[in-house]
Amino acid sequence: MSAPEASDQDHDPNAGGWSERNYRILKISVIVMGVLIVLGLIVVFATIVNRMVASDAPDEAAPVAVALPADVATILGPDGDVVSTALDGSRLAIVFKRPEGHAVLVVDLRSGQVLNVISGEAAR
């Protein structure tokens, strides 16, 4: 018995139906897709750098310490206890308890001015 002979089709690059035109189209497609991947990565990195640079812009910050006017101590009174505080932008709301009931004091932190005092007694 002799070994089967290798056919010419096993070594022919065009045997699988691939012509020179098909190889050329494949090469062009691979090059175009590679260029698109590189361009996409450039866009992604440019966007990341742009957002990092934009986030470095200084925000307008409220002052760290503000001297409150003397009338705040008068409003709170000697027996007033601060229950809680809430900060909203440049305004501070102080909830405090007095013998008459709870009250809210709203202060503008930029100017130190008392904007409003909301006093409430229990509804009867």
Can you give the length of the chain in residues? 124
Domain contains 76: yes
Report pLDDT digits (tens) over 62-107: 555 656 667 777 777 778 888 888 888 888 888 888 888 888 989 8
Domain contains 2: no
Q: Do residue 12 and residue 38 come from a single domain?
A: yes
Domain contains 84: yes
Domain contains 106: yes
Q: How many domains does the chain have?
A: 2
- The rounded distance, in Å, linking the Cα atoms of 1 and 7 is 18
Domain contains 27: yes
Lowest mean pLDDT among 17-21, 35-39, 56-60, 74-78: 56-60
Domain contains 17: yes
Give the structural domain span for 74: 70-119
Q: How far is CA 1 from CA 4, 7, 39, in A?
A: 9, 18, 60
Domain contains 43: yes
Residue pair 100/117 in contact by the 8 Å Cβ criterion: no
Domain contains 111: yes
Q: Do residue 12 and residue 41 come from a single domain?
A: yes
Does residue 9 surpass a pLDDT of 80? no
The pTM (predicted TM-score) of the whole model is: 0.42
Q: Do residue 83 and residue 47 come from a single domain?
A: no
Q: Do residue 13 and residue 51 come from a single domain?
A: yes
- The rounded distance, in Å, linking the Cα atoms of 32 and 12 is 28
Q: Do residue 115 and residue 85 come from a single domain?
A: yes
